[in-house]
Amino acid sequence: MKFDTPATVNPIDQLKIIGQPMNRIDGLLKTTGTAPYAYERHDVVQHPAYGYVVGSAIAKGRIRSIGLAQASRAPGVLAIVTAQNAGKLGQGKMNTAPLLAGPQVAHYHQAVALVVAETFEQARAAAQLVRVDYEPVAGAYDLAKAKDSAVPPDSINGDAPDTAIGDFEGAFASAAVKVDATYTTPDQSHAMMEPHATLAAWKGDQLTVWTSNQMIAWGQGELAKTLGIPKDKVRLVSPFIGGGFGGKLFLRADALLAALGARAAGRPVKVALQRPLMANNTTHRPATIQRVRIAAGQDGRITAIGHESWSGDQPGGSADGAVDQTRRMYAGTHRMTATRLAVLDLPEANAMRAPGEATGHMALEVAMDELAEKLGIDPVELRIRNDTQVVPDSGKKPQPKAKDGTPAQEHKPFSRREFVQCLRTGAERFGWSQRNPQPAQRREGRWLIGLGMAGAYRGAPVMKSAARVRLDRRGMLTVETDMTDIGTGSYTIIAQTAAEMLGLPLQQVRVRLGDSGFPVSAGSGGQWGAASATSGVYAACVKLREAVARKLGMDPATAEFSDGHVQAGGKRRALASAAGDADLTAEDAIEFGVLDKKMQQSTFGAHFVEVAVDAFTAEVRVRRMLAVCAAGRILNPKTARSQVIGAMTMGVGAALMEELAVDTRLGYFVNHDLAGYEVPVHADIPHQEVIFLDEVDPMASPMKAKGVGELGICGVSAAIANAIHNATGVRVRDYPITLDKLLAGLGRLA
């Protein structure tokens, strides 16, 4: 099915099941410990061996030699895999650095060897006996020092790294009021609950991996390419994932090494990356340095806006797209964005929840507040005055100035942009009018109280997605797609879609996900999963409805499906009767690519936060949070709310505590476990409220839905930073906002 015309009235609009706050259909499995996660697949193989990864002890250099004799003689050891005995390995296009080092070492904790033994304890003990002789060389580990050597990347998320519209420098220089500030964000870890884990088994030349991976088709293809075997010889299974946040988008060392270990040992092998290797061996969100310049007239209308960003990655890696939202967020005639990428020898940088926008909002939305303060305009009002219904900067390439002095760029309209409504709804619900615009004026004993807010933007991408649906004689409907559920509620919204389309109760729909043997879906990533995958199920259900109607002798165009029956032309038959003695199956895919070229499809939001800051210790307590989201039709308000409050929680972490500490001498992340890398806990998180605007977007998908999981983090950290400034008068531009950065400015208030 091609989605090339705006959605009209369709069965989804009945909203009998879609749009209702349904409990997760997989909830019982998860709460009873029976959901099959990768490392605990006791049901698929008997007596697997255990693999333990040896990570590189240097950040850059080469391996002179590896001594395996002592480890090989250790109790229970079955095999040891290194680059020397693994055979020729390719490299997937989505991996910046090889997953198995040798002889060159690309980064700290890059896998050097896998020790396979009868038990986990034996494998771990033997791994300590592997003797590696390294030849280290100097590397680059400090973004600030590498900043001047940074160059434009090929692209950022498919767009040009630099854009220019009008005369930014001239307009900025001549403006009445302006802000010019630099902000920094640190390296961050995904820190998901479930580690990267894989169970691998060979049957002849056929490999099956039960793993934790967000993108099944990508993982299958990349593993096959790396091993140098046909894609159809690899089956990848990942029905349940204990969190990913972008860290499990791509093939990682656990899957490759489990496959190599199983081949070397001649039996199934399971591998889980120990927590330190999750920080240094896998991917992370890169640190950024961002300069934001905004100029406006006394009326608050932006005349010039510029955003420059620097980040680093391995050679051949990608840049953080921190300027993305600035291209599309606020009006302004004269504009400039620039992205620079430095070569760093730290572990690989890559996608983490809202890559680009999460970091970019941390700078842009604070700069907007700094501009509001200079103008004496309320921060909400400033954002409203600079709203736009067309894209200010397409991000395609630098645009020359037209002869008449106006930007020579066609401005694509947004399909839906309810940003102003988000701002006004949030301000009213949160009690924004009670905010004192003068900082450090509200106090409760030793606590300084402040209110802050920020706007939120995230694109609404879509991807081709397929599904297969099968109706049996009992009236049970089975849905199969390789879509994954990373805690997002995919099982439930897919079941809701199928139930709505076929007129069945939710209990009569069975959903099977995360198997490369199923039709290829969009997968879970980039906020495209929900809208794309459910649209694929919609397409398959449309085809099944047609087949059912024809089987029952009814007109597919007029047939109505409800309460387990089909009726048309005065006839009413049980849905199950269409299956007969054999199942009735249909398969189809949704294909996009036309409407999103005509109109910009995006999601918008606004975040409001109240904080209390201890005037003596600088301890920050977040008291309450509100998110208002405009993200198309919300398929399940309960699971969508879970996504948003989870994102808000990650935003608290980014604002106040999360930072991978870089040893700039030796080139690794020092705090590579959950004792040193601090994430929010329950006690850190107060009352959270989420409001979804009643919005449908027929340009987005047949579901008229978009994604919301990444929108929820965009702007949160900036709202907290702005609230801290309102409470204390101290402006911190270097995240996270820790005690030491606040204390110096708090002395006068204690």
Name the residues annotated as catalytic.
Answer: 710
Q: Report helix, strand or coil for 527.
A: coil
DSSP structure class, residue 414:
B
Residue matched to tokens 């790396």: 226
Q: Which residues, including other chains, have CB under 8 Å from residue 476's CB and lie 6 or more apart? A: 508, 509, 510
Q: Which residues, including other chains, have CB under 8 Å from residue 545's CB and lie 6 or more apart? A: 501, 502, 556, 559, 561
Q: What is the DSSP string of 427-494?
A: HHHHTGGG--SSTT--EETTEEEEEEEEEEEEE-----EEEEEEE-TTS-EEEE-----SSS-HHHHH
Task: Tell me the residue type at 508.
Answer: Q
Find out whether 151 and 343 touch, Cβ atoms under 8 Å: no
Q: What is the DSSP string of 216-255?
A: HHHHHHHHHHHHTS-GGGEEEE-S--S--TTTTSS--HHH
H or E segment to which residue 276 belongs? helix 275-280
Strand order in the sheet with 111-117: 77-82, 111-117, 49-55, 269-272, 197-203, 206-211, 234-237
Q: Name the phi and psi angles at 358, rounded to 5.
A: -60, -45
DSSP E strands: which ranges in 297-356? 302-313, 334-343
H or E segment to which residue 72 belongs? helix 69-72
In angstroms, the CA 149 to CA 156 distance is 18
Rounded to 5°, the CA angle 329-334-336 comes to: 70
> Which residue, among 526, 630, 539, has the nearest Cα to 158 in the 3D structure?
526
